[in-house]
Amino acid sequence: NKGRYEHYMQKEIHEQPESLTTTMRGRLIQGGSCKATTVLLGGLKDHMKTIRRSRRIVFVGCGTSYNAALAARPILEELSGVPVTMEIASDLLDRQGPIYREDTAVFVSQSGETADTLLALEYALDNGALCVGITNTVGSAIARKTHCGVHINAGAEIGVASTKAYTSQIVVMAMLALAVGGDTISNQARREAIVDGLYDLPSKVREVLKLDNEMKDLAKQLIAEQSLLVFGRGYNYATALEGALKVKEVSLMHSEGMLAGEMKHGPLALVDENLPIIVIATHDACFSKQQSVIQQLHARRGRLIVVCSKGDAASVCSGGSCRVIEVPQVEDCLQPVVNIVPLQLLAYHLTVLRGHNVDQPRNLAKSVTTQ
């Protein structure tokens, strides 16, 4: 039931304040007399010791689920101190890459039925790793075959383009980072800031959804373009990949997400006054590096659209012209949840304006159950 919306993708984008609330419900527990909040992931509590002691955590997924894991990787590394590596499921299988008994392998999948992810799970089980699932579908193959896991509880996702599952996956993995990371004095302030950030996230997402008309207006400007680049780094490298994936899969416009740190190593050759480039430059430890990326793009007369934190519009684009999209600032590791929303809206409006099928893009299936 699409309710008051025209398409499922549109409905699912707009219901993210609610789906995020459901994802967190009952999992952030305010601790009695003291102010501290503990994270309770019921499905993992008996396995927490093994996860903490593992030599490595390996994220495995495809498409949007891979991107969500990539967004959560920095905070999991920071809080757990365990090295975190990334695997696209098909590539792990193609290489028959090393997976050991001392590894925790985390399988991220909205449907829980993706063939590549499922086969990678079977491979990791054969190799003796602890296998953890992060799925949206109770009773799915991945939920059943993993040793333990977490349901993201985002509610059924109908649109082929994954939107609300992406943001709920990131939130679950941020909670996983809090749960795996020890509660030490040195990281107490950071943990509290993340927990406060999680509580505030639904209202911040509600705020960023107000950009709907602005993104429709931007879509009108981009409607006839052949191609679009998206640059991000740090926490928002994943935002660049995921924003570009959304645009290409539904609007059928060529679009590439790129690591901003790699710009000078090739992509810079593409820059001219015609190619639209989105730069994610919200306020975090990488901000000054992104400012210098923007300056270098200006120097090549790049056609820029900059996503920045509220209040940064003037400083982010000094020395050139660009279109600025201001988003609310949240704790840095949660910023990808906010930043993806305008790009989801852009992909949606581009698709409708270009007259393509939003919920059932050409050649794609919601769940890819063949290899």
- Binder among 10, 37, 146, 351 for ligand UD1 (CB under 6 A): 146
Question: In this complex, which beta carbon is closest to ligand UD1, that of residue 131 or of residue 277?
Answer: 131
Report the C-alpha gap between 75 and 333 in whole angstroms.
Answer: 6
Among ligand M6R, ligand UD1, none, the one that 255 touches (CB under a kind-dependent 5 to 8 A) is none
**Residue 65 interaction partner, one of ligand M6R, ligand UD1, none, beta carbon < 5-8 Å per kind:** ligand M6R
Nearer to ligand M6R, 90 or 296 (CB): 90
Instruction: Tell me the C-alpha distance between 126 and 104, whole Å.
Output: 13
Based on the shown chain and the rule CB under 6 A, indicate whether residue 117 belongs to the binding site for ligand M6R: yes
Q: Which two tokens stand for residue 244?
A: 């570009």
State how far the Cα of 58 lies from the Cα of 166, in Å rounded to an integer.
18
Smallest distance from ligand UD1 to CB 140, Å: 7
Residue 278 vs 343, nearer CB to ligand M6R: 343
Task: Report which residue's Cβ sits closest to ligand M6R.
Answer: 63
148 binds ligand UD1 (CB under 6 A): yes
Q: Dihedral, CA atoms, 65, 70, 74, 80, nearest 10 degrees?
A: 50
Residue among 103 and 113 whose Cβ is closer to ligand M6R: 113
Alpha-carbon separation of residue 356 from 134, 180, 205 (angstroms): 31, 43, 27
d(CA 203, CA 77): 27
Sign of the dihedral defined by the CA atoms of residues 58, 62, 65, 69, in that order: positive
Site for ligand M6R in 216-275 (CB under 6 A): 245, 249
Give the C-alpha separation, 201 to 179, whole Å.
18
CA distance 276 to 290: 17
79 binds, among ligand M6R, ligand UD1, none (CB under 5 to 8 A by kind): none
322 binds ligand M6R (CB under 6 A): no
SS3 state of residue 317:
coil
Cβ burial 26-57 (10 Å sphere, 16+ → b, else e): ebeeeeeeeeebebebebbeebeeebeebebb
Q: Does 114 help bind ligand M6R (rule: CB under 6 A)?
A: yes
Take residue 216 and report the two structure tokens written for it: 């429709």
> How many residues can be counted in the chain?
371
Choosing from 17, 63, 149, 276, the residue that interacts with ligand UD1 (CB under 6 A) is 149
Q: For ligand M6R, which residue of 16, 37, 64, 282 counts as binding (CB under 6 A)? A: 64
List, as one string, the DSSP characters of 72-140. HHHHHHHHH-S-EEEEEHHHHHHHT----TTEEEEEEESSS--HHHHHHHHHHHHTT-EEEEEESSTT-
102 vs 122 by CB, closer to ligand M6R: 122
Residue 143 partner contact from ligand M6R, ligand UD1, none using kind-dependent CB cut-offs of 5 to 8 Å? ligand UD1
CB of 109 to ligand M6R, least distance (A): 3
236 binds, among ligand UD1, ligand M6R, none (CB under 5 to 8 A by kind): none
Give the range of 111-119, 183-191, 209-217, 281-289 binding ligand M6R by CB under 6 A: 111-119
Beta-bridge mates of residue 228: 255
Segment near ligand UD1 (CB under 6 A), from 121-129, 146-154, 190-198, 226-234? 146-154
| Contact flag: residue 149 with ligand M6R (CB under 6 A) | no
Alpha-carbon distance of 287 to 200, in angstroms, equals 23
Interface residues toward ligand M6R, by CB under 6 A = 62-65, 109-111, 114, 117, 160-162, 245, 249, 367-368
Interface residues toward ligand UD1, by CB under 6 A = 42-43, 133, 135, 138, 142-143, 146, 148-151
